[in-house]
Amino acid sequence: MLKINNLSFKVDTDGADKEILTDISLEIPDGKLFVITGPNGGGKSTLAKLIAGIEKPSAGQILFNGEDITGLSITERARKGIAFAFQQPVRFKGIRVEDLIRLAAGKELSLTEACAYLSQVGLCAKDYIHREVNASLSGGELKRIEIASVLARKSMLTLFDEPEAGIDLWSFNNLIDVFRAQREEISNRSILIISHQERILNIADEIIVLENGRLVQQGEKEKVLPGLIGTPSAVSKCQGVRS
């Protein structure tokens, strides 16, 4: 279980503090799928980065399975079972797709096992497994490889930052299946997805709305989603997704 107590995050802009997140408290129980939505610039990605340890909070506390992890590094949090899929995946010269998946798995994998993760995200494994994770890959290919690397982690808490951004319609459909399969694979795994997409919001157990750095709404999908439809917090059809 992830528990966040009174979390705030400030940045220094031209000598003045700017508050990006203010006093956020929430709980994500085991086995639940939460989606965070809200207008752009509302602090969604920052919250995910604070959970993964990529940013440090200015105040507040993060507990994971009862342990205070606020002071732990990215590496330590990863080893405790937190995985993070980047909104804009990183490119590496020379590191191959198979290397990235093996590093993510944290153990030796057979080629067949590594390929299975690529197949899950709809990539023809034999075309990609030996390729470098470099600029020769398109944004959509890179995004799917990013998601495959996170699947290989088999973590207890997985954070996806706008997983649909930059991918085509086919893989978007596939993505929904990926999230479902993630839940089935480990029954008490929690998933936190940042997304505006109505179809992703639709598979959530609970929805959190962040606006101007504040948690303005949280509740079961059935209660929250109807009020969001038609606003930028719940984009329908394929806006933002390339068809």
Is residue 79 a contact residue for another protein (CB under 8 A)?
Answer: yes
Binding status of residue 92 toward another protein by CB under 8 A: yes
Q: Which of 19, 99, 113, 205 binds another protein (CB under 8 A)?
A: 99
Q: Which two tokens stand for residue 15?
A: 């000598």
Q: Does residue 163 interact with another protein by CB under 8 A?
A: no
Amino acid at 132: E
Rounded to the nearest 5 degrees, what angle is found at the Cα of 218, between the Cα atoms of 229 and 200?
50
- Using CB under 8 A as the binding rule, the residues of this chain from 103 to 162 that contact another protein are 103-104, 106, 132, 149, 153
CB of 35 to another protein, least distance (A): 20
Residue written as tokens 């101007």? 212
Site stretch for another protein (CB under 8 A), options 99-107, 137-145, 169-177, 226-234: 99-107
Report in angstroms how near the CB of residue 103 gets to another protein at its nearest: 5
Burial 118-153 (b: 16+ CB within 10 A, else e): bebbbbebeebbeebbeeebeebbbbbbbbbbbbbb
Question: Under the criterion CB under 8 A, does residue 74 sit at the interface with another protein?
Answer: yes
Q: Which is nearer to another protein, 145 or 204 (CB)?
A: 145
**Contact between residue 81 and residue 30 where contact means Cβ atoms under 8 Å apart:** no
Residue holding tokens 């290919």? 141
Please tell me whether residue 90 binds another protein under the rule CB under 8 A: yes
Measured from the CB of residue 198, what is the shortest distance to another protein in angstroms? 28
179, amino acid identity: F
CA 146, CA 135: separation in Å to the nearest integer?
14
Nearer to another protein, 146 or 164 (CB): 146
DSSP for residue 165: T
**Using CB under 8 A as the criterion, which residues of the chain lie in contact with another protein when the complex forms?**
52, 54, 73-75, 78-79, 83-84, 86, 89-90, 92-96, 99-100, 103-104, 106, 132, 149, 153
